[in-house]
Amino acid sequence: MAGNGDTSWCFSQIKGALDDDVTDADIISCVEFNHDGELLATGDKGGRVVIFQRDPASKSSTPRRGEYNVYSTFQSHEPEFDYLKSLEIEEKINKIRWLKRKNQSHFLLSTNDKTIKLWKVSERDKRVEGYNTREDNGSVRDPSSISALRVPSIKPMDLMVEASPRRIFANAHTYHINSISVNSDQETYLSADDLRLNLWHLEITDQSFNIVDIKPANMEELTEVITAAEFHPTECNVFVYSSSKGTIRLCDMRSSALCDRHAKLFEEPEDVDITNKSFFREIISSISDVKLSNTGRYMISRDYLSIKVWDLHMETKPIETYPVHEYLRTKLCSLYENDCIFDKFECCWNGNDSSIMTGSYNNFFRVFDRNSKKDVTLEASRDIIKPKTVLKPRKVCTGGKRKKDEISVDCLDFNKKILHTAWHPLENIIAVAATNNLFIFQDKF
């Protein structure tokens, strides 16, 4: 799989209504490919999960195309009300995580702020006909009318995809769940809220183990919160979690049951230059997402202005730092006033860890090639929704004379933001959530 430095991206598909009247419930809140990239799931603020399936013809065509069709849509979460705290619990899907496939069915975890559900997605293309005691419509037959025994037969039927909740993991989080991560053993998973991390077994819904608790005895002494957490891709005893203070802690569950003492602490050295210590320094250093690489050797962390690559063998500083939208450094005051400074941008790796991707404003998203050190700014725009349209790199100008193809930093639309992106695990196909639309791009035909 080529890195992004030599990749020209082109438009493949757009999903979702194209009218400008967008309801809040339709806004996409998470995007996730499964382990072989055959399925792509999105969750939205209305509590729905939509699963897309790779079009079989698009895999065998030359060149290969990245095209997906709707496979299943189901309501995962409903709005709830916590009567003890007089709080509404949103139905919004915060995260979706796929389990590795073990049989014909697919399994995924979805979570809102409080409740995690394990869903089974299965296909039915046959039905049983010719029951003795029931009619084909399911009604019970009058026993006196049964004069002969029939052998039920299996008949083909139109394909039905059914999603059914297999487990509901509830009542374990006091604060809002921001992360779930399935362990490499495929038997356990972790869930993280602002102050605690819980470890669950996929078969046990009524108990979980609290493995990290950073809640102070006196809440007035609270200085940081947990922002994201993830298991190591191959070592089932290792996980990482990031904090609002810009640190990432790596914990090893073999050392103790309660991982309050981390094994490693990854933190950028303090900037001694006093001129850089602005009022916003603490807010913009908060890490909104952390992702371990597929090999498990590296991890990326996203803060407000940059994305950093860390080597798990080196805690002192990141090995690579990529500015995402440095031109916003002068706009932090207005971004604070309109609350954009608290936006939680996610980040992702490509399949062979050679490129990383993250979002920005104005429906821009950024792709960085770690080998060539090339980077590109692209736009998920409705102007390019013709198949095979090659995406033109976008440039933002910060002052002085603006070139013809540049956009001024003052003209950026901060209501259009790319928070959620996903990269196909094996190919150069990317999914980008822009408000209520899902854009799918692929490398040039």
Residue 431's pLDDT is 97
How many domains in the chain?
Answer: 1
Residue 276's pLDDT is 55
Answer yes or no: is 228 within a domain.
yes
CA-to-CA dists, residue 88 to 48, 174, 271, 406, angstroms: 18, 13, 41, 44
Mean pLDDT in order along the chain per 10 residues (445 residues) = 65 88 92 95 96 90 86 94 84 96 94 96 84 79 82 82 93 93 96 96 95 93 95 96 96 87 86 64 94 96 96 95 94 93 96 96 96 94 86 85 83 94 95 95 82
Answer yes or no: is 40 within a domain.
yes
Beta strands in 296-403 (DSSP E): 298-302, 306-311, 320-323, 347-349, 355-359, 364-369, 375-379, 395-397
Calculate ∠ Cα 371-376-382, nearest 5°: 140
Residue 273's pLDDT is 57
| CATH code, domain with 176 | 2.130.10.10
**Who's near 362: CB < 8 A, 6+ residues apart?**
379, 407, 412, 413, 414, 416
Residue 144's pLDDT is 82
Answer yes or no: is 42 within a domain.
yes
Answer yes or no: is 132 within a domain.
yes
Record the pTM: 0.89
Answer yes or no: is 55 within a domain.
yes
Distance, CA of 60 to CA of 172 (rounded, Å): 46
Answer yes or no: is 1 within a domain.
no
Answer yes or no: is 4 within a domain.
no
Answer yes or no: is 31 within a domain.
yes
Residue 233's pLDDT is 96
Domain residues for the domain of 161 are 9-139+151-443
Exposure on the CB side of residue 348, measured as CA atoms within 13 A: 21
